[in-house]
Structure 1
Amino acid sequence: MKKIRSWVAAIPGTLLSIGLPAISHAQAIRTLESVVVTTPASEAPLVVRTDPKAPRQPVPAHDGADFLKSIPGFSVIRKGGTDGDPVFRGFSGSRLGILLDGQEIYGGCGGRMDPPTAYVYPESYDRVTVLKGPQSVRYGAGQSAGVVLFERETERMPVFGWRAAGSLTLGGFGRNDQMADVLVGGPQAYVRAGGTRAQADDYEDGDGRRIHSEYLRWSSHAAIGLTPDDRTRIELSAALSDGRAAYADRAMDGTKFRRENVSLLFEKKRLGGLVDEIEARVYRNDVDHVMDNYSLRPARPGMYNVMNPDRKTTGGRLSATLRPAETWDLVLGADAKRDVHRARGAMRQADAVAADAAYRAAPRVEDMRFEQRGVFLESTWHASEASRLVGGLRLDWHEAEDKRAPAASATAGRTDRRTLTSGFLRHERDFGVGGTWYAGIGHAERFPDYWERMKASPDGGNSAFLSTKPEKTTQLDVGASWRSGPFGLSAAAFYGRIDDYILINWDLGRTRNVDAVVMGGELDASWQFSTAWQGVASLAYVRGENRTDDKPLAQQPPLEARLGLNYAQGDYSAGVLWRLAASQNRYDKGSGNIVANGKDIGPSAGFGVLSLNAGWRPVKSVLLTAGVDNVLDKTYAEHLSKTGTSIGVDVFPTDTRINEPGRVFWLKAQIALD
């Protein structure tokens, strides 16, 4: 079995070494874009799409959270080199839906060592779409902040052939990433396979201080599809990934991040008549996660500890797109999922051998189970060529069962059942040439998640399983986008009222409900002021208020701006990025989110980081890019960074944020063949 795992882990590098790297010719051209420093402005109201294969600055870690950080409005709860938790508009955890090819995935660690984005390898996908706010009901329940869709697209091939893409990234602190993706097929069927491998050593901050942060991760995916005609696709896909990661913020490191996935998709498009499209998918995600305090750091004698949570999520979705009239589109659907969390472990063992043997011999014990069933309807009515009315309704039946032992939970054996609703209504109108404005109201009701229920209750009891109420968000979203000649502008603003916001006080270890208000927005602008030069800028801001306690809402990112200047002429490109974060003086000390000790510790200083990049396309199918992140070798920490730990590693004390990497040089080579 170990040999098989090593062979699978070697697939990405092997494919790249023989020149086989995925996608259609159109996608290949898109893949070889210049360096992305700020994501392009929204191409539709409340929607941002971006190419995950395009090189980015600063060069992100291999995971989904660091990738999303390049999109205005996103922040990351950092804890070292990788596997941070994404935050959008100040919202994190289950408020933000993360879907991989239409499938929901959850991490296993009770302290969020492995958030869903830890299992996302962005460059293996063809497109990333962000849907902002509670302005859609099609992709799951309770996603008040929005939804992120990581998607692969495989078009029917008109004739038999093959297409391939690949990349290699090298950088400071031992950075070494590879990606390969191959598609072979014809009009009737196709096979697609690929993989990624990412590795980095401990990095150093601007003062030269080593941060416990090394990682090694790999992933592989494969799909077999049948395309009997232009309108039909049946696809069976599978994915397997694993790795390790060291963390500066806690007493353990991750030594296993195994994800096994299988999915079956059926879709029928352009049917004509009342039913225009049908899509159905069933899937299973198994996450098996191991963390210990001895594999990647020294442990004290007799204190060798290991924990092994796992999580199995099975689900399905069925939807039909109807066209009752030429000006009216209607999507009807239903989805369901079952989510089971288990754990085992061994504590205070004599040595590593004893700890490994003890936890593997221990039975896996279920501690919580969730089930959800939902139906939804989403409608788009084209009132005129320039005006649209978009709306949707959703009804979900939730059930959670506390499977813990009575000694560990006062609510052991109890079940929480809720029927929750969500909906939205939005008006969109085009103006002038290339302009659109919109205004929408949305409401989302969120069932408390695993991490929130596992804490103590507000009165000090040992379980918040039944005392935590569903969170109810009602939000107004307004905005506009405009593009004319060399100018582009996109602005979005929101104001939300949250009843029963779920807040965790880490100093007391308790979960409770409060009432809150949030507001903020994003601004993107671009100006192509000559044939070769373009200026880009973005701004993101969020402000949250805890109305119950009359204080700031915890874990809110500061005002952030990005200013970029790009040059592109012929086969050459260059660019500069200046990222600016303001100081944050609004905090609620001790309170935070579901990430272990993801809490406010006090104010944070502002900072500015300068980065440079350049690119060269020697031939149409090859792009070489290089860059320097943090050119001035600045020492700084993000406001939402976790704090350090002194257990087993020489990093930072528990009341100090973890510093970010100092100066980093990087080089990326991409190839696209068909």
Structure 2
Amino acid sequence: MILKYVSNDFLKSVIYFVLYIATCICILCITNNIYANDDYLSSGSLQHKTSSTLTCKKFPPLFKDSKNNKVVTIIAEVNTSLISVSDSIKSLQHYSFITDSVDYLKNIPGFSMIRNGGTNNNFVLRGITSSKIRILADSGEIIGACCSGMDPATAYIIPETFDILNIIKGPQTVLWGPVTSGGILQFRRYHPHFNSPQIKTCSSMIVGSNDSIYRNIDSILGNKYGYIRLIGNCNYSGNYYDGNNHPVHSAWYKWSADAILSFNFRSNTFIDINLGQGNSRVNYAVTGMDGLCFARESYGFRIETPGINDVLNSIEIQSWYHHIHHIMIDSTVSFVKNLSSTLIPKQYYCCSTQCKTNVNDVERSLWGSRGFITCQWENFQFYSGIDIQINQYRKNTQLMCDSKIHNYSLDSGIFNEFIFNMLPNKKIIGGIRIEHSVVDIHDDCYAVYYRDVTYPAGFMRYEGVIYPEFLYYLGVGVCQRLPDYWELILNRFNDNIKSKNLIFQLKPEKTIQIDMGAHLKKTKIDGWITSYIGYIKDFICYKYNNNVDSNLIQDNIVDCMKNSNANICGTEMGVSYKLNDYWLGKSNISWAWGINKDNQCILPTIPPLEGKFTCQFKKQNYNLGILWRLVSSSQYIEKFLSTFCSYNFLFKKYTQDILHTPGFGVISAYLAWRIPNYYTYTVGIDNILNKTYREHVNNFLNNYDVTQYNSKKLIYESGRTWWIKAEIIL
């Protein structure tokens, strides 16, 4: 209950003061060349801990040749040696026209996109929605603020500003906050080291279809005592056109700026300070409201002391703060002519007596901190620590001028994780976490709700090696996920709830999941496979009204949230074969399945079978690639419960046509030409055949005017799209 007395302004004041002092110290020490140890820095002891292939070099991989820029996507927790995909954020840029983080993720097996508009799209991983996946930016969690999911966490992450993407599939680690059934996405930046003063700059520009123009610059100034890294980008795109040359309401404008200050305080201690801001405006095709504001303020602080002694490997303390401000406004309002403007005239605020439109104004503040130690005893490696996160949500309502709905929550946990190398080719990895969560919902218009709960999570995994080329693993994990704020607050509309505290009758999700996989790597062939099977007790889903007129769409069709039970399973596999020194072929396939055991219906967020085939030709400074994406048709047209659309949401006479998604195949290609040392030019065409298609988990109606729903227009993906990218490295 004490969370409500935490002042947001006080937290900001403390953060600003700490950052100011730390920045002054950092700049002073860098300019005066103090507290450095040449031998230590040159030995590269300050290294990234995630994996041997993720080891930090002397400068970020952004400024290196892409062929040496291998960053892995991992199956399990970040200390594992098992690899499922070998792609970095930079290497993924070649495949298609990138607008946001989801465009990166959809190139990785297991991910599927949910189209909102031109950018700020959503995704599912193995059929699990993004709200059930923990998303970290430089190890600090970031969450959207909109109750309808119009601002997913990925909307506030600019992928070009990060160097590495770690994907932890399933409950296979306890290091990064409350464990979730879906897994963890971790966008991180390298910590580079310099033996001598250097200035590196990478600048790029992309122009393409739909009047698109992307500008990005990444500069770093450093020496052996630390570095300053400045990153900025400004992007714009107009409405895109589908394969039938029909415009889709999807124009957008986005900018961001980040600064990273690092100081090698002592021979075995470094401090990182992160500061960032960003904003955007996005037109949405899936709703009658457009995103007018996606403002982000981010601050972070990390201090790490590695290589202390033979037993205590490292100590790390980290803090972060994210403030999200999101505004949705009726798309019929035309007062903003320039997409770069996010200002609302006074008469459009909901608090104004002249308010004649719909404005949804929400904010979220997250403050978190974690500290842990790493120990090593012969064949036993141990991680132990604690973390805490305070989450504050508020919403300006239309009922009263100064009325706000507040949500305060606190998550704190104690975690221990170990790696035991039994033999040179066998190891056991396990962990346990005890989580304590407090939820305090203060609704000025309704009541006050409070919950205090403690729950465990853990996993155990066995990894083995058969010859150096073949690795395999088998693991099991259990976890719980508490209902989030929107799931709880929506439950108050349930007519069966007679007492205010019964809003918490929605039970936590409880997951037990088995993961298994293998990886084979030889001279010319590199193949991997990963599978999972799980049971989710008290799976949270929407319950919809059954009293929907077949000729009308009611605004309030959601009754409440409810618990059900679900079974899930699936597999992803891939293989690459090097024909010779120039030709490389890749392919992968992903399949997911899930069923609601209460009504024996397929979970609607389960994507259909999907495969990708890639052929690359590399010779000297030239790189040519062709990607063929194939997706099977979907037959999920029965009545079911859905987070994104329900049987009753659409016209019953059109349900079969709309919910059935035909299969499709899309071909894309790119050509990259690198001028040694400085320039790289890339030309690409996506959807070369101008195919008209739509994603299965994207079944929203395109027209947001109720009188036009009879047109049955759906949101189709972009048609033929060309793009040109120029990059210069100095």
Contact 1:24–1:163, Cα closer than 8 Å, also in 2: no
Shift in Å, 1:450: 1.6
Q: Which of the numbers 495, 511, 515 marks the counterpart of 1:460? A: 495
Letter of the 1:326 counterpart: E
* Inter-partner Cα distance in structure 1 for 2:396 and 2:221: 42
TM-score by length of 1: 0.88
2:371 is aligned with 1:321: no
Q: Which of the numbers 432, 435, 441 marks the counterpart of 2:467? A: 432
Equivalent in the alignment of 2:252: 215
2:61 is aligned with 1:27: yes
Q: Which of the numbers 157, 182, 186 marks the counterpart of 1:149? A: 186
Letter of the 2:205 counterpart: L
Letter of the 1:322 counterpart: C
For residues 457-507 of structure 1, give each alpha carbon's deviation from its aligned partner in whole angstroms, at most 9, with x where no partner exists: 695347883121110110000000011011000100000011111111354
SS in 2 for 1:586: coil
Instruction: Give aligned pairs, total.
Output: 633
Contact 1:187–1:229, Cα closer than 8 Å, also in 2: no
* Inter-partner Cα distance in structure 2 for 1:280 and 1:71: 32
Q: Which of the numbers 284, 306, 329 marks the counterpart of 1:247? A: 284
Question: Structure 1 residues 114, 364: CA separation in 2 closer, same or farther (over 3 Å shift)?
Answer: farther
Q: Which of the numbers 574, 577, 584 marks the counterpart of 2:634? A: 584
* Inter-partner Cα distance in structure 1 for 2:308 and 2:711: 60
Contact 1:615–1:625, Cα closer than 8 Å, also in 2: yes
* Inter-partner Cα distance in structure 1 for 2:612 and 2:72: 10
Q: Which of the numbers 261, 265, 270 marks the counterpart of 1:224? A: 261
Query: Which stretch shifts more, 520-529 or 165-174?
Result: 165-174
Equivalent in the alignment of 1:574: 624
* Inter-partner Cα distance in structure 2 for 1:650 and 1:177: 37
Q: Structure 2 unaligned segments of length 5 or more: list them.
A: 1-55, 337-347, 349-353, 545-556
Question: Structure 1 residues 510, 392: CA separation in 2 closer, same or farther (over 3 Å shift)?
Answer: same
Question: Structure 1 residues 330, 594: CA separation in 2 closer, same or farther (over 3 Å shift)?
Answer: farther
SS in 1 for 2:504: coil
Q: Which of the numbers 472, 475, 482 marks the counterpart of 1:447? A: 482
SS in 2 for 1:168: strand
Question: Structure 1 residues 542, 644: CA separation in 2 closer, same or farther (over 3 Å shift)?
Answer: same
2:165 is aligned with 1:112: no
Q: How does 1:663-674 map to 2 (within 5 A)?
A: 663-673=720-730
Equivalent in the alignment of 1:472: 510
Equivalent in the alignment of 2:129: 92
Contact 1:298–1:648, Cα closer than 8 Å, also in 2: no
Contact 2:418–2:430, Cα closer than 8 Å, also in 1: yes
Equivalent in the alignment of 1:7: none
2:613 is aligned with 1:556: no
SS in 2 for 1:495: strand
Shift in Å, 1:274: 2.0
2:222 is aligned with 1:185: yes
SS in 1 for 2:416: strand
Shift in Å, 1:229: 4.2
Equivalent in the alignment of 1:503: 541
SS in 1 for 2:160: helix
Equivalent in the alignment of 2:365: 312
Letter of the 1:575 counterpart: G
Q: Which of the numbers 606, 623, 630 marks the counterpart of 2:663? A: 606
2:693 is aligned with 1:658: no
Contact 2:582–2:619, Cα closer than 8 Å, also in 1: yes
Query: Which stretch shifts more, 158-167 or 599-608?
Result: 599-608
* Inter-partner Cα distance in structure 2 for 1:277 and 1:295: 56
Q: Which of the numbers 410, 413, 427 marks the counterpart of 1:374? A: 413
Shift in Å, 1:56: 2.9
* Inter-partner Cα distance in structure 2 for 1:237 and 1:83: 23
Shift in Å, 1:367: 2.9
Equivalent in the alignment of 2:391: 339
Query: Which stretch shifts more, 664-673 or 562-571?
Result: 664-673
* Inter-partner Cα distance in structure 2 for 1:95 and 1:521: 19
Shift in Å, 1:94: 3.3
For residues 546-583 of structure 1, give each alpha carbon's deviation from its aligned partner in whole angstroms, at most 9, with x where no partner exists: 11222212211111000111111111111111101111
Query: Which stretch shifts more, 334-343 or 88-97?
Result: 88-97
* Inter-partner Cα distance in structure 2 for 1:477 and 1:88: 15
Question: Structure 1 residues 656, 397: CA separation in 2 closer, same or farther (over 3 Å shift)?
Answer: farther
Shift in Å, 1:451: 2.1
* Inter-partner Cα distance in structure 1 for 2:371 and 2:187: 19
Shift in Å, 1:656: 5.0
* Inter-partner Cα distance in structure 2 for 1:597 and 1:398: 35
Shift in Å, 1:223: 1.9
SS in 2 for 1:454: helix
Question: Structure 1 residues 368, 40: CA separation in 2 closer, same or farther (over 3 Å shift)?
Answer: closer
Equivalent in the alignment of 1:8: none
* Inter-partner Cα distance in structure 1 for 2:467 and 2:188: 33
Shift in Å, 1:596: 11
Contact 1:488–1:526, Cα closer than 8 Å, also in 2: yes
Letter of the 2:357 counterpart: Y
Letter of the 1:170 counterpart: V
SS in 1 for 2:61: helix
For residues 375-407 of structure 1, give each alpha carbon's deviation from its aligned partner in whole angstroms, at most 9, with x where no partner exists: 101100011111110000011001112211354
Contact 1:74–1:87, Cα closer than 8 Å, also in 2: yes
* Inter-partner Cα distance in structure 2 for 1:34 and 1:639: 36
Letter of the 2:222 counterpart: G
* Inter-partner Cα distance in structure 2 for 1:596 and 1:165: 46
Shift in Å, 1:454: 2.4
Query: Which stretch shifts more, 548-557 or 278-287?
Result: 548-557
Question: Structure 1 residues 460, 66: CA separation in 2 closer, same or farther (over 3 Å shift)?
Answer: farther
For residues 249-275 of structure 1, give each alpha carbon's deviation from its aligned partner in whole angstroms, at most 9, with x where no partner exists: 101101111101111111111112321
Question: Structure 1 residues 656, 590: CA separation in 2 closer, same or farther (over 3 Å shift)?
Answer: farther
Query: Which stretch shifts more, 557-566 or 43-52?
Result: 43-52
* Inter-partner Cα distance in structure 2 for 1:501 and 1:117: 24
Q: How does 1:146-295 map to 2 (within 5 A)?
A: 146-229=183-266, 231-294=268-331
* Inter-partner Cα distance in structure 2 for 1:297 and 1:638: 30
* Inter-partner Cα distance in structure 1 for 2:682 and 2:158: 20
Contact 1:567–1:574, Cα closer than 8 Å, also in 2: yes
Shift in Å, 1:530: 1.5
* Inter-partner Cα distance in structure 2 for 1:385 and 1:25: 32
Query: Which stretch shifts more, 153-162 or 258-267?
Result: 153-162
Contact 1:644–1:654, Cα closer than 8 Å, also in 2: no
Query: Which stretch shifts more, 93-102 or 505-514?
Result: 505-514
* Inter-partner Cα distance in structure 1 for 2:437 and 2:289: 33
Contact 2:317–2:372, Cα closer than 8 Å, also in 1: yes
* Inter-partner Cα distance in structure 2 for 1:26 and 1:117: 22
Contact 1:251–1:293, Cα closer than 8 Å, also in 2: yes
Shift in Å, 1:589: 4.0
Question: Structure 1 residues 424, 343: CA separation in 2 closer, same or farther (over 3 Å shift)?
Answer: same
Question: Structure 1 residues 47, 90: CA separation in 2 closer, same or farther (over 3 Å shift)?
Answer: same
* Inter-partner Cα distance in structure 1 for 2:325 and 2:291: 11
Letter of the 1:427 counterpart: Y
Q: Structure 1 unaligned segments of length 5 or more: list them.
A: 1-21, 348-358
Equivalent in the alignment of 1:398: 437
* Inter-partner Cα distance in structure 2 for 1:57 and 1:456: 44
SS in 2 for 1:640: helix
* Inter-partner Cα distance in structure 1 for 2:398 and 2:462: 56
Q: How does 1:37-48 map to 2 (within 5 A)?
A: 44-45=81-82, 48=85
Equivalent in the alignment of 1:17: none
For residues 601-652 of structure 1, give each alpha carbon's deviation from its aligned partner in whole angstroms, at most 9, with x where no partner exists: 6221111101111111122332211111000101111001141253469997
